[in-house]
């Protein structure tokens, strides 16, 4: 970790941010919930959790968080999981819900691309973490499917030969949840790599 004692922000408008808090506690990392533009003050990275992307989209605008999120991304890392990936993406395929993505990583995603809640599943996937490969137990819960990867976007993990974790610049995005597990190695790697 390059920065001593970083404070990690958790976008806490809706979703499973509490599970990320447990992992941050397990790693001994300071964190705070981000619900208002003023909450970006003093944080060194942001976790954009899974949840319901339509609801998150509405709340981002209701609490005037869209521009602060984009501004934050220009200088600080963001890690988005599931709905977080959807909102970080450049484009949403078949976007009937009218979700407005933030356009922070050049990918196209299909909401619920792996099926609705009934078809949720778990799988062990290999994630390329720099010089090593980590096996991560991943939960795909109404998960988005990446249908296009733009130039400069690195694919870090695949499921059935399709990208499920991607990175570009200071943005990391995953189709799946890993925060439902005791293994916090993926989160620890994000902190080491991006801070």
- Assigned CATH for 7-194: 3.40.50.880
> Does 12 have pLDDT greater than 50?
yes
Tens of pLDDT, residues 53-96: 999 999 999 999 999 999 999 999 999 999 999 999 999 998 98
Q: What pLDDT, on the 0 to 100 scale, is given for residue 2? A: 55
Tens of pLDDT, residues 92-146: 998 988 999 999 999 999 998 887 666 689 999 999 988 889 899 999 988 999 9
Q: What pLDDT, on the 0 to 100 scale, is given for residue 1? A: 43
Q: What pLDDT, on the 0 to 100 scale, is given for residue 78? A: 98
> Does 154 have pLDDT greater than 80?
yes
* DSSP symbol at 87: H
Which listed residue (82, 93, 128, 162) is catalytic?
82
Least confident of 10-19, 40-49, 110-119, 162-171: 110-119
Which listed residue (20, 21, 134, 179) is catalytic?
179
Q: Burial of 98 by CB count in 10 Å (0-12 exposed, 13-18 middle, 19+ buried)?
A: exposed
Q: What pLDDT, on the 0 to 100 scale, is given for residue 94? A: 86
The span from the CA of 108 to the CA of 20, in Å, is 25
Q: What is the mean pLDDT of the chain?
A: 92
Task: Show contacts of 145-149: CB within 8 Å, 24+ apart.
Answer: 145/109, 145/110, 145/113, 145/114, 145/175, 146/85, 146/107, 146/108, 146/109, 146/113, 146/175, 147/93, 147/108, 147/109, 147/110, 147/113, 148/91, 148/107, 148/108, 149/106, 149/107
Answer yes or no: 154 catalytic: no
Which listed residue (21, 31, 134, 177) is catalytic?
177
Domain ranges for the chain:
7-194
Up-side HSE of residue 170: CA atoms within 13 Å toward CB? 16
Answer yes or no: 82 catalytic: yes
Answer yes or no: 21 catalytic: no
């Amino acid at each position: 970790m390059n920065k001593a004692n970083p404070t990690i922000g958790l976008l806490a408008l809706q979703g499973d941010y509490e599970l990320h808090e447990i992992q941050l506690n397990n790693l001994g990392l300071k964190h705070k919930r981000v619900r208002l533009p003023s909450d970006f003050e003093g944080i060194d990275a942001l976790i954009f959790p899974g949840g319901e992307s339509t609801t998150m989209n509405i709340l981002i605008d209701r609490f005037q968080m869209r521009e602060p999120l984009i501004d934050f991304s220009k200088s600080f890392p963001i890690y988005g999981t599931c709905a977080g990936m959807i909102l970080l993406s450049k484009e949403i395929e078949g976007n009937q819900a009218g979700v407005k993505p933030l356009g922070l990583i050049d990918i196209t995603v299909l909401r619920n691309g792996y099926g609705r809640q009934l078809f949720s599943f778990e799988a062990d996937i290999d994630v390329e973490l720099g010089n090593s490969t980590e096996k991560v137990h991943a939960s795909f819960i109404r998960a988005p499917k990446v249908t296009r990867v733009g130039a400069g976007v690195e694919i870090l993990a695949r499921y059935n030969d399709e990208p499920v974790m991607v990175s570009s610049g200071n943005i990391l995005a995953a189709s799946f949840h890993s925060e439902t597990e005791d293994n916090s190695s993926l989160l620890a790697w994000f902190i080491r790599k991006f801070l």
